[in-house]
Structure 1
């Protein structure tokens, strides 16, 4: 049995940061385990390849939720990264920190050290902001943050239309204030994706004290009483056991971290007994408190041809655009697809933005998997609810690690969430109806002209509302009865085990979750090193 000082489960946004930070001093042996393959597929590195990654089974876990009672018994598609870099290797690369109040709220919930002023230095230290340093941005870090090198012309039309609708322009969503409309910054470098793997892991694969295993399936954690001592995993049909001299760190994400805890006998007693799993450590909060940003699309036909479409003029335009990439690493192939958007208030009298836009220069439906929609020249506007009140959970389908986690999103279960999303659809339509977008708009494809009353919109939401891929909260940080980890991310009641990923968020942050997840890992690494170096 091999022994490492630290074993990290999951080479996603958090795991890559942990592996780099914990192995950097050379003092500790670190083993990083990943269920997917290496990240050398072209569609990961080329930003526009994000379109194909939605349907790539080799690089995407492609989870499905249960039949959701609040969504007309629909199963909701939940893509998650299955490769080095995790979901940072298949996402749209948007760099968003969230709102100051998000982190201050974590601290108010009894989590010292997690206020905005305390986490901001980690965001700054991690990044290389191409615009240069200031009070909110840093330079010299491994994660490259850049302006889009594409900026398809219709994005400017969207930004002007949103301003016509009364929303302010904001050149930096990660600056002094988040509210407004503008261009997103992206985790790219020289026109290529800068995933967590590319930023933190790949440059250090030669370290003798860092071992990275891909294509392995972690089965369960090993416990001796209340001490986590290691784990077992499968690789090419063989079972291996490895031991952790210091700690095991779960960074498998909001779906897989709670699943692995439960498979190991750590979790709600009823859930474990139902699947004939011996209860090693009862912890009721494991898998509870699931949160995600509920989202919906409004889609219009559009007269422009410089859009993402399978129509002849659009294809010819795309071919011409590809030459920009060959010559100067710019143009369509560097597009994140959702280059512009913003953060707005559902009502003027609330204190901070509670809705987010992602604008798409193409007719999009069903996560881009409905390819027939791309036979249209069209545009689409995502609108999502930033702080939903609905809560779901993650459970098990059985006691085998090969089974997918049981995901119950429970989106729009809360009445207030439904009302805010009804308002959100109206606001999205209002923006799309403004000039200059309206000058080229044709028929509304989704939800369609027949959808007018509030009841119509609610029915539409039940039929079409979806995830925007930000699951968090299932191993939440805190001191209450559903808390799984404390403020140092140690699992309550156990030794030698921490959870370090988006699952520890007690409440979801107001924006895209990739950058905050990397921040969580950087802060956790400092706490881990401090506890073992002292």
Structure 2
């Protein structure tokens, strides 16, 4: 008999959560194979450390997209976590589920049983929220979710300005509605980041029925006829194979999961034959339906020094104060993630009063994570379209598993996407000019005061917008024959194979996707336990 019941490929947000839940049954033997290594690094623990880690090749697979006409021929960096905990160990810590309607949309698209009322219990199960108790929030889950622990006068003024522009305050984006502005919640355990590794996997690793192998790069699936029986992988320079008694479960994410399927003969037949791969199952949608949020960052220079973290970072006394605040109180600027305040709002293109624009605000400015903060007193408001229509793809470029696939994003590929994003820029500029904020800044740096016409603004968006690292959808879930997985997350056309990660999302959630990925794993664990 095989040594394991389940083989989980990937220890990211979904894989770590799923492994912990399945091994709560002492008779369930689970092997987790992770291509990356340990998360024992200070920058992976410090909340604001994602600025250092997200582009660090020791912890992130630095994929790069193909040149994209929608963003003036630029290529986009697409870092994916390559470490225990996956992208939950390197992301910006923002915890927001998305709109209730996002999940009702999934159900309407054929993901039976994935409507909001059906998934809410799993959202509640996974978290312990530090906020006000409510029917929407969890109080006993492994993942610690904290309210913002940093105050900034410029951010407070921005929220007042958003109120003057017509947006109400929202005390909890994960409650009754995501509409309005407020502070973002973060995955924090005490003063440190809480990831899928720290919340789920590591506490479970003491169980005798869980085995985790790091630096184990899976490069193929093993089949017995139509049934997946195991995987082939490379570990410490050795080529290995391992079989399981029940199922192989792919948790590699929206890039690596379709890549592994295609390398194993499951995907568009023409693509597989092009690279000399035997077609095991012709699945035209494997690697298709790629979605992402593309954000436009606007930056203004504040006229009062001391409001921007750009100023504090170069002041030794303020740096020491920041360090002490974090060390003693677990608070202050070192405790923040990718956004302090922001919210969701409706443009004139919104349908059914559902927000179609998400905003993120930080009292700093930088070219991208890992780069030095600007020397002027910068302040950033980013925004993205909640429900983009544009779709891209993930296609292998070779039968060599060590070679990155081709990532085509196709950003701003529809008129609606361009219209909503352009309207978003106008709205953000309007908020800057409201009475509560307009006297705090002296000039607009990006896109710049000389950018006035719609054509100029759209070109500025094409030249400056970038990913929010929310790649999803490449192994779509549905009830139709074309869906890659059914609502039980079983890969159609074969047996003994499931997918549990963000690639199964039929459509992207309106905000950050990490919370929904945790939920997918929680619900998947329940489905699998019920079926076996």
Judged with a 3 Å threshold, the aligned counterparts in structure 2 of structure 1 residues 219 and 462 are, in CA distance, closer, same or farther, namely same
Runs of 4+ in 1 over 6 A off after TM superposition: none
CA contact (8 A) 2:312 2:319 kept: no
In 2, the alpha carbon distance for the partners of 1:118 and 1:35 equals 33
User: Per-residue deviation at 1:305?
Assistant: 2.1
Q: 1:10 corresponds to which residue? A: 10
- With normalisation by structure 1, the TM-score equals 0.96
User: Structure 1 stretch 133-142 or stretch 298-307: which is displaced more?
Assistant: 298-307
User: Per-residue deviation at 1:237?
Assistant: 1.4
Judged with a 3 Å threshold, the aligned counterparts in structure 2 of structure 1 residues 348 and 387 are, in CA distance, closer, same or farther, namely closer
Q: 2:359 corresponds to which residue? A: 357
CA contact (8 A) 2:313 2:319 kept: no
Q: 2:64 corresponds to which residue? A: 64
In 2, the alpha carbon distance for the partners of 1:312 and 1:503 equals 38
CA contact (8 A) 1:18 1:525 kept: yes
Q: 1:249 corresponds to which residue? A: 249
User: Per-residue deviation at 1:481?
Assistant: 4.9
Q: 2:80 corresponds to which residue? A: 80
- With normalisation by structure 2, the TM-score equals 0.97
* SS in structure 2 at match of 1:140: coil
Q: How many residues are treated as equivalent by the alignment? A: 530
CA contact (8 A) 2:350 2:356 kept: no
Does residue 189 in structure 1 map to residue 189 in structure 2?
Answer: yes
Alignment of 1:411-490 (within 5 A): 411-490=411-490
Q: 1:212 corresponds to which residue? A: 212
User: Per-residue deviation at 1:219?
Assistant: 0.7
User: Per-residue deviation at 1:58?
Assistant: 0.5
User: Per-residue deviation at 1:150?
Assistant: 2.0
In 2, the alpha carbon distance for the partners of 1:376 and 1:349 equals 36
Judged with a 3 Å threshold, the aligned counterparts in structure 2 of structure 1 residues 274 and 25 are, in CA distance, closer, same or farther, namely same
User: Per-residue deviation at 1:370?
Assistant: 4.6
Q: Deviation digits for residues 426-476 of structure 1, max 9, x if unmatched?
A: 111111222433222122111111211000011112111211111111000
Q: 1:106 corresponds to which residue? A: 106
Q: 2:333 corresponds to which residue? A: 332
- The gaps in structure 2 that reach 5 residues or longer are none
User: Structure 1 stretch 91-100 or stretch 326-335: which is displaced more?
Assistant: 326-335
Judged with a 3 Å threshold, the aligned counterparts in structure 2 of structure 1 residues 232 and 349 are, in CA distance, closer, same or farther, namely closer
Does residue 127 in structure 1 map to residue 127 in structure 2?
Answer: yes
In 2, the alpha carbon distance for the partners of 1:206 and 1:130 equals 27
CA contact (8 A) 2:62 2:78 kept: yes
* SS in structure 1 at match of 2:258: helix
Judged with a 3 Å threshold, the aligned counterparts in structure 2 of structure 1 residues 314 and 378 are, in CA distance, closer, same or farther, namely farther
CA contact (8 A) 1:310 1:374 kept: no
User: Per-residue deviation at 1:204?
Assistant: 1.6
Alignment of 1:17-36 (within 5 A): 17-36=17-36
In 1, the alpha carbon distance for the partners of 2:139 and 2:370 equals 37
In 1, the alpha carbon distance for the partners of 2:508 and 2:99 equals 11
